[in-house]
Structure 1
Amino acid sequence: MLFEAAGLSKRFGDQVVLEDITLSVQEGQLAGIMGPNGAGKTTCFNVLTGRFKPDRGRVTFAGEDITGLAPREIAKKGISRSFQIMNLFNDDSALDNVLVATPHVRRQGFNAWRDLGADSAAQDLAAAVLARVGLKGKERTPAKSLSYGERRALEIGVALAAEPRMLFLDEPTAGLGAEGTARLADLVASLKRDLTIVIIEHDMQFLFRLADTLSVIHWGQVIARGTPAELRHNEWVQRSNLGALAA
């Protein structure tokens, strides 16, 4: 198993937000995490990727315990993530946004980014990442001048620039219309060939189309897990209307 979380619990003050969360993801899988608003999905995501430390439980990646490591340290292990609220350098070009996320800059610090401006190999690699996410020809365009859907694609490109083994996506369809969501689904499907991916998502059709496995979180607990076909007929999913949303 490439990624495992066992017995994760998290509270904020007196409020228990996660209780005994257990998840596992095999290499090459696309795993989805879904549930109603306020279910604890985002907190779970933040615990899995190091933004929050769990009060109890353990997270392992490629057999190594990464519980409680800072996001930067987790990224060095080979895990990248995107955010529901995009984190881009708006005044910089799409190419520069990708360059700053490359392993060289991560190792050497932000000042190394300036040296990459004259590094044709690094620029070629960044351009290849942009082409992969559908932004060929937009290399010199400032991030703030891209469309919303293009900015979503750029953020995924920034995550890919770190050359991860595993990619976490937080609400990637947020703010996208039907056309943008369809393009994003095609992009994620193409990434799935080379990466292990975990997605938190409110768009159930998007998840049910792409995921190999799904976990349903409610009131901070995993209450159901299985394939999309299995969960489509799950009693709780049907009662909660998530099944209808995924039809």
Structure 2
Amino acid sequence: MALFEARNLHKRFGDQVVLEEINLSFEAGTLAGIMGPNGAGKTTCFNVLTGRYKPDRGNVTFDGRDITGQSPEKIVQGGIARSFQIMNLFDEYSAIDNIKVALPDTRRRRFDILHAFDGASEAEARAEAVLASVGLAGKEHFPAASLSYGERRALEIGVALAADPAILFLDEPTSGLGTEATGRLADLVRSLRDRYTIVVIEHDMRFLFGLADRISVIHWGQVIAEGTPEELQANKWVQRSALGSLN
């Protein structure tokens, strides 16, 4: 059984059908990709998978449990975390405080979330370890706003990892990054894949093809192709659409 599955997902907004008969499955210990042209429905699909939208029909299961329609907060508590295309950080907080805010114990407090922590606390140590895992050791007390754009992307991934998830969803992680920063991000994601099941929605095909075990192509609100990067590069539809080009 796959760790995460979506079956027969439908989603519409008014008269517009955005997703139709979406079927996806992600195996534990793999890095899966979702790609497609703008307007294909992949972002809506991502939001349905992670609880931002409730599907009109179909179901989503995680580790054998039906999580269809659960709130994002409950989904996070269940072991699923995600980053966002538009970064969602507390700019006035330090890097380490951004991580501490996202720790499970902090989320349960829901009040006085920072003053409850001692500098030598278990939370401090956990947050330092998370920052080290995303390449931000030494930047613990830098305000988030002072970090470079690439470092902020890494911090956002750290915020997602603070919840100690079983599966990590990354939404367009290379958005806004230059070539050098994209390479560093690829190295970071590669370093995480041994510890987490990862699903990436991405427009940068070179980035995705260089990392993913399997990729699903969404177009017209449907999954129109699936396979390894090599299989998709040989797929005639993908070739015609230029989605499989690495140039």
Q: TM-score range by the shorter chain?
A: over 0.9
Q: Which runs of 4+ in 1 moved over 6 A?
A: none
Once the two structures are TM-superposed, the CA of residue 119 in structure 1 deviates from its matched residue by: 4.9
Q: Deviations over 1:139-168 (max 9, x none)?
A: 000000000000000000000111001000
Tell whether the 8 Å contact from 1:104 to 1:112 is kept in structure 2 after alignment.
Answer: no
SS in 2 for 1:230: helix
Paired with 1:9 and 1:24, the residues of 2 have a C-alpha distance of 16
Number of the residue aligned with 2:173: 172
Paired with 1:207 and 1:182, the residues of 2 have a C-alpha distance of 12
Paired with 2:244 and 2:225, the residues of 1 have a C-alpha distance of 12
Structure 1 pair 165–110 and aligned structure 2 pair: CA distance change class (3 A) = farther
Paired with 1:230 and 1:241, the residues of 2 have a C-alpha distance of 14
Q: Structure 2-normalised TM-score?
A: 0.98
Number of the residue aligned with 1:37: 38
SS in 2 for 1:100: helix
Number of the residue aligned with 2:243: 242
Once the two structures are TM-superposed, the CA of residue 124 in structure 1 deviates from its matched residue by: 1.1
Tell whether the 8 Å contact from 1:93 to 1:143 is kept in structure 2 after alignment.
Answer: yes
Structure 1 pair 110–173 and aligned structure 2 pair: CA distance change class (3 A) = farther
How do 1:18-29 residues align onto structure 2 when only pairs under 5 Å count? Answer: 18-29=19-30
Structure 1 pair 95–215 and aligned structure 2 pair: CA distance change class (3 A) = same
Number of the residue aligned with 1:86: 87
Number of the residue aligned with 1:127: 128
How do 1:1-247 residues align onto structure 2 when only pairs under 5 Å count? Answer: 1-244=2-245, 246=246
Once the two structures are TM-superposed, the CA of residue 132 in structure 1 deviates from its matched residue by: 0.9
Once the two structures are TM-superposed, the CA of residue 118 in structure 1 deviates from its matched residue by: 4.2
Q: Deviations over 1:46-96 (max 9, x none)?
A: 000000000000000000000000100000000000000000000000000
More helix by share: 1
Paired with 1:6 and 1:122, the residues of 2 have a C-alpha distance of 38
Once the two structures are TM-superposed, the CA of residue 108 in structure 1 deviates from its matched residue by: 2.2
SS in 2 for 1:215: strand
Q: Which runs of 5+ in 1 are unaligned?
A: none
Tell whether the 8 Å contact from 1:100 to 1:110 is kept in structure 2 after alignment.
Answer: no
Paired with 1:153 and 1:116, the residues of 2 have a C-alpha distance of 23
Once the two structures are TM-superposed, the CA of residue 113 in structure 1 deviates from its matched residue by: 3.3
Q: Which stretch shifts more, 36-45 or 99-108?
A: 99-108
Paired with 1:113 and 1:164, the residues of 2 have a C-alpha distance of 22
Paired with 1:228 and 1:182, the residues of 2 have a C-alpha distance of 18
Q: Deviations over 1:97-135 (max 9, x none)?
A: 000000101222242432124452211110111111111
**Percent same amino acid among aligned pairs?**
68
Once the two structures are TM-superposed, the CA of residue 220 in structure 1 deviates from its matched residue by: 0.4
